[in-house]
Structure 1
Amino acid sequence: MSRVTPVENINYWRHPSLSGIELSQAEFTHFSFDKHVHLDYHLGVVTQGAQQFINKGSRYQLGQHGLSTLNPDETHDGQSRDAEGYRVKVMSIPVEYMNSISQEMGLKAHFFNAPMVDDPALYQYFIQLHDVLIQGQCSELAAESHLLNFMQLLLTRHPSGMLNLRQDRGLSWQQLNRIKQKIHDEPWQNTQLEALADEVNLSKFQFLRQFKLATGMTPHAYLKRVRLELAKKSLTHGALVADVAQQLGFFDQSHLNKAFKQAFLLSPVQFQRRML
């Protein structure tokens, strides 16, 4: 379970001219992110202190001058490296937006080779971009120009890698993709473990073990995170909290409130007020 003692500050924004782009800024001390995934690309920098996280079984430390580059659906965690805590700026970029940028640059769909890059110039550029966008005072042309300039620099300095389709353990890539697609297509369904196991012709025990080996998460934890990520998107577009809870398969609104606050440190209503 994530720990929430204490969190000094966390805020979310979106620029009115950049549909789907989510910006956040936070200061953490003892809060620890459990293993989770995002539906979008996540870029981020630490402006004070340092963050440590595990990605694909390897431990990383993100300090000043580094840029985190997390692909969608990539399991990771996160916590402060030491007791002093850290400050972080994050930008969430929808897959469709990233694909559009890549196509305009004549590139294939992008996949970052590593969860972070050591690039002081990009680090400073990202901070400037983030600050400009959260102020919300620049024009649509200026906002999109700043973002595209940054993305062009990022994608050319750190070219896309080829996604490794081979799974050394756990479910095969094809099996895992089939299960994830089912969850993404029907996030509101309280799918039974047996039904998921049947999708890939495994026993419940085999499936549970192999899914966790492949993703680092249980099927239930993965489904819960997908629901929460989709809840954020719905709230950003003005949906009522009660409707979101019902549409995404939460038991009731209080169930969504508790899970949302545990994951994002704000209630759904608090998050929505910052985004609308």
Structure 2
Amino acid sequence: MDSHAFVMHRSALAGVQAVAARSGRAFSRHTHDQFGIGVMRQGEQVSHSGRGQVRAGPGHVITVNPGEVHDGAPVGGERAWQMLYLDPEVVAHAAAELRADGRSYEFEHPAQDRPGLARDVLALYSHATAHAPPLACDALLLRILAQARSPDAARLRNEYLIGAPDAIRHARALIDDDPAAGLSLADLAAACGLSRYQALRAFARATGLTPHAYQMQRRLLLARSLIRRGYTLADAAAAGGFADQSHMTRLFTRTYGVSPRRYALAAG
């Protein structure tokens, strides 16, 4: 790999993507529509997360929940990591096997020093990319999710919802329902019943992102979904509300470290 390289390996597991990365870049705040769990292989990074600022070093397990705002910056040079991204449906199905509520399943902590869990994650990564028998992959996935889940997931989710003002939920819903829509701050303020300035501050406080940044994240997530479903890049860009394909490509690559074309090849 060069000083900034993301390799998306084909995965034998439906609804699971495998990414190996090495980078010295700092990534701005963004979200994913999937669960992510992986292992730092080399170097260290600090990142904002749903639990505040965290630091991960070699061998640490790193996780992210769908919709969780996070970023990442290297400490003292580049770092390398391997990551598995799980579609929510995959986690919900496994949670049912674990007798847990898939809708409230959450990874417990964004950075943990847990050698046993790290070994299992790396083993699943190896199995998924080597097309190992399904039985071995399924057993590992269940064991990983059982170890990594938060016992307080439902409480944490309820606290988050309680902490988000009703007015901001209306503004978020406007964006979530149609990420490609050409909304203005005045539109969001009207939905909130607040002034534009009040809406801007309240939205950023509740979500960790400005309304525009949040909308861009939702557009990128929509584009990712469309690409996985076989849309051409031009059609995904148009349906996602981007000015053109190059606009989508710039933001996509800056956010995820891989171009939409390479993402499409790995997801196909």
Asked if these proteins are the same fold (TM beyond 0.5), I'd say yes
Partner of 2:8: 12
Aligned AA for 1:89? Q
Q: Percent identity?
A: 27
Partner of 1:91: 84
Partner of 2:211: 219
Measure, in 2, the Cα distance between the counterparts of 1:176 and 1:116. 29
Distance change in 2, residues 1:177/1:118 (3 Å): farther
Question: Which residues of 2 match residues 112-261 of structure 1 at below 5 A?
Answer: 112-135=107-130, 137-155=131-149, 158-161=150-153, 162-166=155-159, 171-172=164-165, 174-261=166-253
The answer to whether the 8 A contact 1:126-1:150 is kept is: yes
Partner of 1:3: none
- How large is the Cα RMSD of the aligned pairs? 2.3
Measure, in 2, the Cα distance between the counterparts of 1:93 and 1:57. 20
Measure, in 2, the Cα distance between the counterparts of 1:56 and 1:148. 24
Measure, in 2, the Cα distance between the counterparts of 1:100 and 1:57. 26
The answer to whether the 8 A contact 2:45-2:74 is kept is: yes
Runs of 5+ consecutive residues of structure 1 not aligned to the other structure: 1-5
Deviations 1:112-144 (A, max 9, x none): 343223311101111111122122x22334333
**C-alpha displacement of 1:167:** 6.3
Runs of 5+ consecutive residues of structure 2 not aligned to the other structure: none
Query: TM-score of the superposition, structure 2-length normalised?
Result: 0.89
Distance change in 2, residues 1:211/1:195 (3 Å): same
Distance change in 2, residues 1:35/1:100 (3 Å): same
Aligned AA for 2:64? L
Is 1:111 the counterpart of 2:106? The answer is yes
Measure, in 2, the Cα distance between the counterparts of 1:126 and 1:57. 22
For the residue of structure 1 that corresponds to 2:182, the secondary structure is coil
The answer to whether the 8 A contact 2:8-2:20 is kept is: yes
**C-alpha displacement of 1:49:** 1.0
Query: TM-score of the superposition, structure 1-length normalised?
Result: 0.86
The answer to whether the 8 A contact 2:46-2:55 is kept is: yes
